[in-house]
Amino acid sequence: MKAAELRKKFIDFFVSKNHAEIKSAPLIPDNDPTVLFTMAGMHPLVPFLLGAPHPAGKRLVNFQKCIRTGDIEEVGDKVHLTLFEMLGNWSIGDYFKEHAIKYSFEFLTSKEWLGLDLNKLAFTVFAGNENAPFDEEAYNTWLSLGVSPNKIAKLEANWWGPAGTTGPCGPDTEMFYWTGSEPTPEIFDPENPLWVEIWNDVFMQYNKNEKGELEKLEHPNVDTGMGFERVVAVLNGFDSCYDTELFVPLFEALDKFRGIEKPSERTSEERIIIDHARAATFIMAEGITPGNKDQQYQLRRLIRRMLGEGHKLGLAQGFALPIAEKVIEMFQVYYPELAKNKEHILATFEMEEKDFSKTLVRGVQMFEKAIQEEKNVQNGVLSGLVVFDLAQTFGFPKEMAVMMAEEKGLKVNLKEFDEAFKHHQDISRGASAPCGLADKKEETTALHTATHLLHQALRTVLGTHVEQRGSHITAERLRFDFSHPEKVSVEDLKKVEALVNEVIQKDMPVICEEMTLDEALQKGAIGLFANKYGEKVTVYSMGDFSKEVCAGPHVTHTGILKSFHIMKEESSSKGVRRIKATVGFVKENA
């Protein structure tokens, strides 16, 4: 099925069910200054999901452009995208679970619409926990439609939200499609990667209050999201979004510029170039220019990473222009702002490329100087902090530094770089909070403190093999990646959550001490990324429970966190699990 046909079928189907089609909202949110980009189809509709009447009515449908930069380092594989589109339908206080599920089922299986084989579909529903019951209505609705019980998994992870520490939330049901070449398994295993999630119906039936309690909403809502690029790939038998018609013309434009025939296999460098050029084109179509703060910084980061990959491939100047022109040509019918701002987009690419040429010269000089200093290179490994400083100070791409290091027989401490970058993101996010949002910085600080408690609780429950592999903190939630070979059981997650809450309830003081790294390690502090902070390090302790080397902001005592709740546990990559969690929050001066 062609991408345009899928897009039209989705809209037509829900219009036939009395949904009003609404326009895609801008990539820059106009109702939420705490985030840089629109990250999901429901994001622009939050005020209406919270009770404000929508001018188009109670039933809505659209396709929404979205940007996510949190996983930018993962782009280059076959699945990660910076810019993507979501197909979504909403019921704002109108129909609920039964109607939503039946609509999804009809669209997926009816010959008039997608006509998918029911045998290749599987579903998940909320299993229930101590806060909310098993979603029996969703489960029974799927059964009534002829779905085998073997193809429905009950998972506690099937819970959405709230977006912040309070607000609308509820169970969800996810739809999966079998992409394997072998016969469809009789029993659905949601951990099998050949089962690909294609759609999610969220049932917002509760409001989480400031006490962490769930209250039933008077008018529950339905919010659904279907990943456009992913579904196009699945419907056409591809295991990569980049193999679809949404990306192939962009690769062809690059090939033509290079004067080469289509290669047998696309490289990660090529995928990064195409993805970043595409995303940057959409961002610039909204009038954003590259700079050093917020959306402007993320735009420059995308462009420079793209240019760095082009340099590695030996591409001549101007390679981004034909890609951008093709993006505009392909998508302007849906997003007219692309054509409207074409001159701005192309001129900005040209200007950034010229600036990047100067950056390369200066960055190479600073790189050569840095590796001559003995403290920066230990046992053939270049400090990741040096590479981070080059990126921050001179805009010199990490990938370029890694390539140059390899040419000299050196490796780069990428773990050190990643931690320095994540730390910079957290600090920048707090420091750049808009006027009137000072409390958001306090909430970020509370969540950062909670990552220390979560880290130690995981090591206590699962074992000391658990090590932090990354984190991302917004004002609403924390995301914590850690080494662990398998899915964490619900029982162990409950133990972890209870352990963190126990420390919070004890209201332990958070003690900050400065010492050498050796002293910190001798005292039992966790110091996985400590060597990026210099000879002296700061150690944060919470009673005898947690002791960790860190330079981030912390609360003064654990009771400020009020409560801790794990929202979701999932796979991040091979051997790495991811937890998303939130905390209750009490202002320090309250």
Mean pLDDT across 318-345: 95
Helix axes 228-235 and 3-16, enclosed angle (nearest 10): 110
**Which pLDDT belongs to residue 430?**
36
Angle at Cα 191 formed by Cα 188 and Cα 195, nearest 5°?
A: 60
Q: How confident is the model at residue 587 (pLDDT cuts 50, 70, 90)?
A: low
Q: Quick one: 557 exposed, middle or buried, by C-beta within 10 A (0-12, 13-18, 19+)?
A: middle
Q: How confident is the model at residue 553 (pLDDT cuts 50, 70, 90)?
A: confident
pLDDT at 438 over 80: no
Q: Are 383 and 402 in contact (CB under 8 A)?
A: no
pLDDT at 272 over 70: yes
End-to-end CA distance of the chain: 57
Nearest partner of 448 among 545, 582, 543, 568, judged by Cα: 582
Q: Are 38 and 29 in contact (CB under 8 A)?
A: yes
pLDDT at 12 over 50: yes
Q: What is the pLDDT of residues 341-353, one digit of tens each?
A: 999 999 999 999 8
pLDDT at 534 over 50: no
Helix axes 294-312 and 398-407, enclosed angle (nearest 10): 30
What is the percent of the chain where pLDDT is above 70?
Answer: 91
pLDDT at 29 over 80: no
pLDDT at 146 over 70: yes
Nearest partner of 529 among 556, 555, 503, 552, judged by Cα: 552
Provide the token pair at 521: 């390690």
Element (H, E) at 460: helix 438-462
Task: Report H helices in 178-331.
Answer: 228-235, 248-258, 268-284, 294-312, 320-331
CA separation, residue 88 to residues 23, 41, 60, 209 (Å):
12, 6, 8, 27
Could you give phi then psi for residue 355, rounded to 5 degrees? Answer: -65, -35
Peptide bond into 162 cis (omega under 30): yes
Q: Quick one: 528 exposed, middle or buried, by C-beta within 10 A (0-12, 13-18, 19+)?
A: middle
Name the more confident of 472 and 462: 462
CA separation, residue 174 to residues 159, 223, 225, 510 (Å):
10, 12, 10, 41
**Which pLDDT belongs to residue 61?**
95
